[in-house]
Amino acid sequence: MSGSTGGGAGTKTDGRVERGNQTRRLVLGRTMDIASVEGLEGLSLGRIATELRLSKSGVFALFGSKEELQLATIRAAVAVFAEHVVTPLKDVPPGARRVHELCRNWLAYSSGRVFAGGCFFYAVSAEFDARTGPVHDAVAGTRRDWNAYVEQALTEAQAVGDFAEDLDVEQLAFEVIALMEAANAQSVLFGDTTAYVRAERGVAARLRASATNRGRDGLDAEGR
């Protein structure tokens, strides 16, 4: 008898947890789109509850405060970004081709409007770059991680001989990221999709100019 009761209680608990997880996913799906267009300051527990027809107390129970909602939104956006930009590379070996595909994935993520306002992190970085506090630190952390990831991809490509030993990895990473973010900004502001074509052309040119013969062969093979 006690075993049966315990199982029923467990089932009820599991059901509540799953409903809570579903609500959390629903809320974060909406907050990511809002933040990419209006910024993280555009988020509030009351607004989200009203828009999604949820109880404000239920949303508050999940997130507790506006700041926690903002931080949870950033964490959720990191997972979405990784799914679209990083995960597709899991079977691509280190090299210039992998760096190029990483950049192309980023451009596709931005141009495909995975987030309604273009790149989520570009939008919220501009919003919080001069501020202080936990949200600023979380945003800055995501940007450091992205820069480090691009630098790591370049360093690994250098190690297999696709770039020269004296390559300034940090400089090249800075340049290709700047090209991609410029395309995002111009496209969002002007509705100009040709900006992505220009960025792709610029990234490819910078990689080719910095690559060894082996690296250029890999880039050429990618296009065939």
Residue 136 neighbours by CB under 8 Å, 6+ apart: 128, 129
Contact call for residues 107 and 176 (beta carbons, < 8 A): no
Measured over the CA atoms of residue 213, residue 214, residue 217 and residue 222, the dihedral's sign is: negative
CA 28 – CA 101 distance, rounded (Å): 28
End-to-end CA distance of the chain: 68
Contact call for residues 152 and 171 (beta carbons, < 8 A): no
Query: By residue range, what is the domain housing residue 196?
Result: 2-223
SS3 call for 211:
strand
CA 184 – CA 197 distance, rounded (Å): 11
Per-residue pLDDT reduced to its tens digit, 121-156:
999 999 999 999 999 999 999 999 999 999 999 999
CA 100 – CA 218 distance, rounded (Å): 10
Q: What is the full per-residue pLDDT of the chain (224 aa) written as tens digits?
A: 444 445 666 666 677 677 778 999 999 999 999 999 999 999 999 999 999 999 989 899 999 999 999 999 999 999 999 999 999 999 999 999 999 999 999 999 999 999 999 999 999 999 999 999 999 999 999 999 999 999 999 999 999 999 999 999 999 999 999 999 999 999 999 999 999 999 999 999 999 999 999 999 999 987 65
Q: Residue 194: its pLDDT value, please?
A: 97
Domain count, the chain: 1
CATH number at residue 183: 1.10.357.10
